[in-house]
């Protein structure tokens, strides 16, 4: 990960940008550079992943234009060869160095040509404008706000902007900003033509596209590791990666010291694929002591995101402190495409698809946000194979009737696509367990107990009246909101609302986001 920042106005200064960047040194601990341009200031903090030499340091410059980019551009060597043939020369092996030549060739049409997860800001010296853009899913973070004089400021995290902007909002994924407006260049959920192929054809394509998505994310000049929960999604990523590697990959799992559910499954997967596996054990004190820091680094009050981040943050912290790994592959985004436990209750295929569209659009404020912050705060880079653009576009286009749970097993298409020897059968067809629960049911129980003891009933009722947007509805949600407001006062609208099952569906009108409260949880927690 890296941090980018752009103060788009002549009132900007290197001192102001430097003060903003202080909040995210861990995102880019290797180097920092701030430059003034004619109409503002650009800042960059580097975590070296591709093109590790000093020549790969940003901002990049071409004929007076500048760019800062936090991104991974897949297939960049082919693009670089095409640009070299057109007369461009390159000083580094950084994938992001190709972006300014692409901008010169294609203008803002370049964004729809990228197979990438990225956030960038370009300064165009001829237009005297700053142009910002973000990948279609929002895997790489980007926020914006306005300074007191109305100047727009972009930055990787809300933390960069809290001293400079009163109101902070996430940059919409799949958009670019130009001429003071946001322009959509890609709605990743949009379906041009529904896929009605037979199940074997569909599953073969799911298999091939996910394998390609994992393979392209293995390329790095820094060391790569894998988060392994023992659930379906992370296990598939690890299995595919091990098949593509000529030596054991490094896998990491975490669990509570009392009732970790996933550790045994993660070890079973690791033993099966032959990975070099590490377990991290955490306690009640570890969880409660990290709560304030986790909410600060996340910039959210959402219950689901915070619960799931506790284990992920502590695991990534251990990886950072105990290894020289710089890149982590994770299993996020599968659920939004293939379904959660609660989407078993979808009343129709149309309702399933509508819910999937909603969740994919909101990913950048929930699971994708969690993966980015927990990993980047520990000076690591997150890569998400299930977020591969080609893979996501394909799965979104599959006839939603096929994605409904008509097989007595959720996410059946994904499971069927990898039947064979990728994973043990009982892992491949294991029931879904939410990560926050699978770290150990006790972890969530400790958090709820802590919050319930923190407030009296009277205090809870009174303090909830302080909020209108995303009003807390349990003592746990109130505690998280109050910690959030300590660091991001008045900025609750950065997050849409609470991640909860669709309460309009029968069986889903619950007041806790854990799948444990659903009637179909079944064998998930065993």
Strand-by-strand arrangement of the 65-73 sheet: 60-62, 65-73, 116-124, 129-134, 175-178, 181-184
- pLDDT tens for residues 124-166? 999 999 999 999 999 999 999 999 999 999 999 999 999 999 9
Tell whether 55 and 116 lie within a shared domain: yes
Q: Are residues 136 and 230 in the same domain?
A: no
Q: Pairing state of beta strands 250-256 and 60-62?
A: unpaired
**Does residue 72 surpass a pLDDT of 70?**
yes
Q: What number is the average pLDDT over the span 335-348? A: 95
Catalytic residues: 2
pLDDT band at 97 (very low <50, low <70, confident <90, very high): very high
Q: What is the mean pLDDT of the chain?
A: 95
What is the pLDDT, as a whole number, of residue 1? 72
In this prediction, residue 514 carries a pLDDT of: 84
Tell which residue, 146, 157, 117, has the closest CA to residue 369: 157
Mean pLDDT of all residues in 470-481: 97
Last residue of a domain, one of 393, 412, 431: 431
* Number of domains observed in the structure of the chain: 2
pLDDT-based confidence at 436, cuts 50/70/90?
low
Residue showing tokens 């070890």:
267
Instruction: Check residue 122 and give its pLDDT.
Output: 98
| Final residue before a domain boundary, out of 184, 211, 246 | 184
Contact 394, 409 (CB under 8 A): no
Residue with token string 């909860």: 500
Q: Would you say the C-alpha torsion 455, 459, 462, 466 has a positive or negative sign?
A: negative
Q: Could you tell me if residue 501 is inside a domain?
A: no
Residues 180 and 324 in one domain: no
CATH number at residue 8: 3.60.20.10
Kindly tell me the burial class for residue 115, based on how many C-beta atoms sit within 10 Å of its own C-beta (0-12, 13-18, 19 or more).
middle
The structure's pTM equals 0.95
Q: pLDDT digit string (tens) for 143-152? A: 999 999 999 9
Residues 127 and 236 in one domain: no
When pLDDT is cut at 50, 70 and 90, the band that residue 350 belongs to is very high
pLDDT of residue 220: 84
At which residue do the structure tokens 């057109």 appear? 86
Per-residue model confidence (pLDDT) at position 28? 86
Measured in degrees and rounded to the nearest 5, phi and psi for residue 68 equal -120, 135
Per-residue pLDDT for 222 more than 80? yes
Residues 6+ apart with CB under 8 A from 98: 73, 76, 79, 80, 83, 90
3-state secondary structure of 180: coil
- Give me the pLDDT at residue 51, please: 64
How many angstroms from the chain centroid is the CA of residue 290?
Answer: 20
Domain co-membership, 214 together with 171: no
- Can you spell out the DSSP letters for 191-231? -SS-B---HHHHHHHHHHHHHHHHHHTT--SS-EEEE--SS
Instruction: Scan for tokens 């430059």, then name that residue.
Output: 35
C-alpha torsion angle, residues 103, 104, 106, 111 (rounded to 10):
0
What's the rounded Cα separation, in Å, for the pair 477 and 466?
A: 13
Mean pLDDT, range 54-79, rounded to an integer: 94
Question: In this structure, are 167 and 212 located in the same domain?
Answer: no
454: nearest Cα among 488, 435, 481: 481
Query: For the residues 200-222, what does the mean pLDDT come to?
Result: 95
Structure tokens at 242: 């091990």
- % of the chain at pLDDT higher than 90: 89
* Residues 301 and 368 grouped into a single domain: yes
> Is 218 a residue whose pLDDT tops 90?
yes
The three-state secondary structure class of 109 is: helix
* Full domain range(s) for residue 67: 3-184
Q: What confidence category does residue 524 fall into, taking pLDDT thresholds of 50, 70 and 90?
A: low
**Domain of 295: which CATH number?**
3.40.50.620
Give residue 526's pLDDT.
Answer: 54
Task: Taking residues 344-353, report their average pLDDT.
Answer: 96
Q: Is residue 52 part of a domain?
A: yes
Asked if residue 475 belongs to a domain, the reply is: no
434 band by pLDDT with thresholds 50, 70 and 90: low
For residue 478, give the nearest of 494, 461, 490, 495 by alpha carbon: 461
DSSP-derived 3-state class of residue 464? helix
């Amino acid at each position: 990960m890296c941090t980018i920042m752009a103060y788009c106005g002549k009132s900007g200064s290197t001192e102001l940008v430097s003060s903003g960047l202080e909040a995210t040194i861990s995102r880019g601990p290797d180097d920092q550079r701030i430059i003034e341009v004619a109409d503002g200031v650009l800042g960059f903090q580097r975590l070296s992943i591709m093109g590790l030499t000093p020549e790969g340091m940003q901002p990049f410059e071409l004929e007076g234009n500048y760019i800062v980019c936090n991104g991974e551009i897949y297939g960049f060597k082919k693009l670089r060869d095409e640009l070299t043939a057109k007369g461009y020369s390159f000083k580094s092996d950084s994938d992001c160095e190709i972006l300014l030549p692409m901008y010169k060739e294609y203008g803002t049409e370049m964004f729809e040509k990228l197979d990438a997860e990225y956030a960038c800001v370009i300064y165009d010296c001829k237009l005297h404008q700053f142009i910002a853009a973000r990948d279609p899913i929002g895997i790489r973070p980007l926020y914006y706000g306005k300074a007191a004089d109305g100047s727009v400021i972009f930055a990787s995290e809300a933390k960069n902007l809290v001293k400079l902007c009163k109101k902070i909002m996430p940059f919409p994924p799949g958009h670019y900003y130009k001429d003071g407006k946001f322009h959509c260049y890609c709605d990743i959920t949009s379906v041009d033509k529904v896929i009605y192929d037979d199940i074997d054809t569909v599953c073969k394509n799911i298999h091939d596209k996910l394998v390609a998505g994992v393979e392209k994310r293995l390329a790095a000049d820094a060391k790569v590791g894998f988060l392994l929960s023992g659930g379906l999604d992370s296990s598939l990523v690890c299995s595919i990666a091990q098949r593509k590697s000529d030596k054991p990959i490094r896998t990491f799992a975490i669990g509570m010291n009392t009732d970790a559910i996933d550790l045994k499954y993660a070890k079973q997967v690791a033993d099966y694929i032959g990975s070099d596996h590490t377990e991290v054990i955490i306690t009640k004190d570890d969880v409660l002591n990290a709560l304030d820091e986790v909410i600060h680094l996340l910039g959210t009050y959402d219950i689901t995101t915070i619960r799931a981040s506790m284990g992920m943050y502590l695991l990534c912290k251990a990886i950072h402190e105990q290894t020289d790994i710089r890149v982590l592959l994770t299993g996020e985004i599968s659920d939004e495409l293939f379904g959660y436990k609660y989407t078993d209750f979808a009343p129709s295929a149309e309702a399933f698809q509508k819910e999937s569209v909603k969740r994919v659009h909101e990913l950048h404020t929930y699971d994708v946000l969690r993966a980015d912050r927990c990993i980047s705060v520990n000076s690591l880079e997150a890569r998400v194979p299930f977020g591969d653009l080609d893979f996501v576009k394909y799965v979104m286009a599959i006839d939603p009737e096929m994605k409904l749970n008509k097989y007595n097993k959720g996410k059946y298409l994904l499971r069927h696509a990898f039947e064979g020897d990728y994973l043990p059968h009982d892992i491949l067809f294991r029931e879904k367990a939410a990560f926050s629960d699978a770290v150990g049911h006790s972890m969530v129980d400790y958090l709820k107990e802590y919050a319930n003891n923190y407030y009296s009933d009277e205090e809870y009722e009174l303090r909830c009246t302080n909020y209108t947007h995303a009003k807390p509805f349990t003592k746990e949600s109130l505690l998280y909101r109050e910690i959030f407001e300590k660091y991001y006062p008045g900025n609750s609208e950065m997050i849409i609302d609470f991640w909860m099952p669709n309460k309009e569906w029968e069986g889903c009108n619950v007041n806790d986001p854990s799948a444990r409260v659903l009637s179909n949880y079944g064998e998930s927690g065993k």
